[in-house]
Amino acid sequence: MSLIKGIHHVAVKPRKSQYEATVKFYTELLELEVECSWGDPEYPCLMVSTGDNSRLEILPQDETNELPHEGKVAHIALFTDHVDECIKRVSEAGYTVTIEPKDVALGELPARIAFVDGAGGEIVEFFCVK
């Protein structure tokens, strides 16, 4: 039995000045539907459905920040019902857990999440919709 059910979302990090254009690109030009939003006027965040049970998360970053080491793609979120088990396995295998399992609310979307550094330097999020 696989713990992973698919990709939940891929997060992109446009500069704040690119945020509105990025949102319009995905929601107006490509007609992706907004699933939820959160944050505040300074740092709004948005998740749009890509139509196949996966999503694209748009997270603006400050203009003065250097490009993060992971680039414009912030992380890969794997869809699972077993966040804690995934973290247990990767931790026991020696990988660095950067955010321990915790419950969060992304707007109206309740979730359990955790993050780990992947084998190739990528950031992997385990994501469970509650």
Q: Domain ranges in the chain?
A: 4-129
Residue 2 to residue 70: CA distance in whole angstroms:
27
Sheet with 73-80: list strands edge to edge.
Answer: 33-39, 44-49, 55-58, 4-12, 73-80, 123-129, 109-117, 97-106
Q: Which residue has the higher pLDDT, 68 or 26?
A: 26
**pTM of the predicted protein model:** 0.72
pLDDT, position 70: 56
Q: Which residue has the tokens 């999440």?
A: 113
Please tell me the least confidently modeled range out of 23-27, 60-64, 97-101, 118-122. Answer: 118-122
Domain 4-129 has CATH 3.10.180.10: yes
